[in-house]
Structure 1
Amino acid sequence: MSYMNKFEEQIIICKECLKGISQKINNNGVPSNNINYQNLYNELYKLSELLPTHLTIYQKRLRDFILPNLKMRDIVSYNQWGQQIIFPCTGINPYTLGEVIATLIYIDENKHEYDNIWVNIHPCIIQSSQKLFNDAHYAESVEAAFLEINVRIKEIIKLKTGEDIDGVPAMQKAFSVNSPILKLHTDIISKTGKDIQQGYMELFVGAFRCIRNPKAHEKISITKIEAIQKLHFASLLMYEIDKAKINTL
């Protein structure tokens, strides 16, 4: 099951859990503070683990406010000798229950907005990385994106020169300031043209030194937000390749 399917299934489980609680309150007259909180707590915690990036604020709300206050506070009393007596409570706090209902409604109504992160991503990056990302394989999705860039540059160099190189050497050769295979400015003789060519060469080389190569050679774990940032960077580089002109000299 994909990451997003798990997320949507967990929303359904939480809604069913709330439905059962509502039936006890409305049909059977059982107050929420007499309904055990543990099952609802467990399912909401699972949901908080699955919330996509655009709902991060609700992940924080669930973890910092709703879950810590879902259970009624234990009753503290003192006997005639001043000794503290604690009466444990396992019921649901009615005020927090209202927050749960409102939060779950919002999450359910906005669950599909996660697709928006792909709106401006290059189609080649979507094809290589979207499924991996949606299945929560964040590092692998980034590696696949930069592999796609590597393959594309490698093919261009091979067609132009017959050389079979990739990675950092390929980026240096493709975007060389003095004898580029791919020109990123119409006039690479001018200072502006040279600066742009040099700048993008350094971006491509830096991407492969800092992002692609480490992920290709060792197991690295990254967060969802880090993956989104790096996928947008890969997309930027891929769009620059689209705009570049083959140097005919």
Structure 2
Amino acid sequence: MDINKINTVCCWMRNLSNQPNVLNMPVSTADVTNIREGLLIIAKDIEREQPVLSNQLMTIKNRLFREVPASWNTIHIYINPFAFGQGIEVLDILLAQNFNRQDNWCHLIHPRIAQVSKKLYFDGSYANAACDAFIEINDRVKRLFQVVKPGEDIPDGDAAMKRVFSTKNPLIEFCDRSTDSGANTQKGFMEMLAGAMSALRNPKAHANIQIERDDAMRCLIFASMLMYKIDEAVLYSKIIEPLKSQ
């Protein structure tokens, strides 16, 4: 669902309907075309997820305006206030649903990820939001390496993940590795973290990866899951972690 498109069309309709003496003023062909095409695009975009609202928009689109002959070769177009009100109401519902959906997933984002990525995401900088989330994970793990191995050369990226969360001689453990389940947990999260560094830390460097709004959302949720697991590992391993500002 393209929230920017919905908001744009909704603003067009509100601005038009709020003009003085709007019921008696002809509407320009450009306004008619923009609004009808905008509603058509939105209706098709939400067809799978919101079939009822999609059908309503398709019906409303055809009723928004009425044509009145002004002369034998001239037709004036006026708004249909009832259909206009219905259209704005449906768009408002879609905007409200998007707001609630953002609330529903935003609380899943780890505070460290939110600090570096949330504003970028809502500003539309999706690639930067995704990139910075995994950079934050990398930076945190490197700081943890410094705590456990002060003075040693600090590895980076997937090498840092494999060194700090090694399956054989880890500096930080996620859980008790003496059981098969624990060993698998250590191995699985080490590999996920290493893979994230290779594939997702700099998505703009990969020509075959396009970061759109939903892709970025999934990246932030995945990064947050990994960051919360690091929280658990730090706690389990009794690591005294310095504040980020240090």
Is the shorter-chain TM-score for this pair beyond 0.5, marking a shared fold?
yes
1:159 maps to a residue whose letter is V
In structure 2, relative to structure 1, the CA distance for the partners of 1:147 and 1:88 (3 Å cut) is farther
Deviation at 1:191, TM superposition (A): 1.1
In structure 2, relative to structure 1, the CA distance for the partners of 1:101 and 1:217 (3 Å cut) is closer
In structure 2, relative to structure 1, the CA distance for the partners of 1:66 and 1:232 (3 Å cut) is farther
Deviation at 1:36, TM superposition (A): 3.6
In structure 2, relative to structure 1, the CA distance for the partners of 1:5 and 1:215 (3 Å cut) is closer
Deviation at 1:12, TM superposition (A): 4.7
Deviation at 1:219, TM superposition (A): 9.1
Deviation at 1:92, TM superposition (A): 5.1
1:179 maps to a residue whose letter is N
Deviation at 1:109, TM superposition (A): 5.0
Q: Which residue of 1 aligns with 2:139?
A: 151
Q: Which residue of 1 aligns with 2:17?
A: 18
Q: Which residue of 1 aligns with 2:120?
A: 132
Structure 2 residue 174 is the aligned partner of structure 1 residue 184: yes
Q: Is the 8 A contact 2:167 2:187 kept in 1?
A: yes
Deviation at 1:72, TM superposition (A): 6.1
Deviation at 1:14, TM superposition (A): 3.7
Q: Which residue of 1 aligns with 2:243?
A: none
State the alpha-carbon separation in 2 of the partners of residues 174 and 151 from structure 1: 13
- 1:106-140 deviation line (CA, Å, top 9, x unaligned): 24655643344311210000000011101101011
Q: Which residue of 2 aligns with 1:175?
A: 165
Q: Which residue of 2 aligns with 1:197?
A: 186
In structure 2, relative to structure 1, the CA distance for the partners of 1:242 and 1:222 (3 Å cut) is same
State the alpha-carbon separation in 1 of the partners of residues 219 and 98 from structure 2: 23
2:27 maps to a residue whose letter is I
Q: Is the 8 A contact 1:11 1:108 kept in 2?
A: no
> Structure 2 length normalisation: TM-score?
0.70
State the alpha-carbon separation in 2 of the partners of residues 184 and 61 from structure 1: 47
Deviation at 1:166, TM superposition (A): 1.0
Could you tell me which runs of 5 or more consecutive residues in structure 1 were left unpaired when the two chains were aligned: 75-86
1:178 maps to a residue whose letter is K
> Which residue of the other structure, out of 192, 197, 221, is the alignment partner of 1:208?
197
> Which residue of the other structure, out of 220, 231, 239, is the alignment partner of 2:220?
231
In structure 2, relative to structure 1, the CA distance for the partners of 1:111 and 1:168 (3 Å cut) is closer
Q: Which residue of 2 aligns with 1:77?
A: none
Secondary structure of 2:159's aligned partner: helix
State the alpha-carbon separation in 2 of the partners of residues 112 and 217 from structure 1: 31
In structure 2, relative to structure 1, the CA distance for the partners of 1:136 and 1:143 (3 Å cut) is same
Q: Which residue of 2 aligns with 1:97?
A: 84
Q: Is the 8 A contact 1:154 1:166 kept in 2?
A: yes
Q: Is the 8 A contact 2:27 2:78 kept in 1?
A: yes
Deviation at 1:208, TM superposition (A): 1.6
Q: Is the 8 A contact 1:71 1:90 kept in 2?
A: no
Moved more, 237-246 or 213-222: 213-222
Q: Is the 8 A contact 1:153 1:170 kept in 2?
A: yes
Q: Which residue of 1 aligns with 2:105?
A: 117
Structure 2 residue 156 is the aligned partner of structure 1 residue 166: yes
> How many equivalent pairs are there?
220
Work out the percentage of aligned pairs sharing the same amino acid: 30
State the alpha-carbon separation in 2 of the partners of residues 230 and 12 from structure 1: 31
Could you tell me which runs of 5 or more consecutive residues in structure 2 were left unpaired when the two chains were aligned: 68-73, 240-246
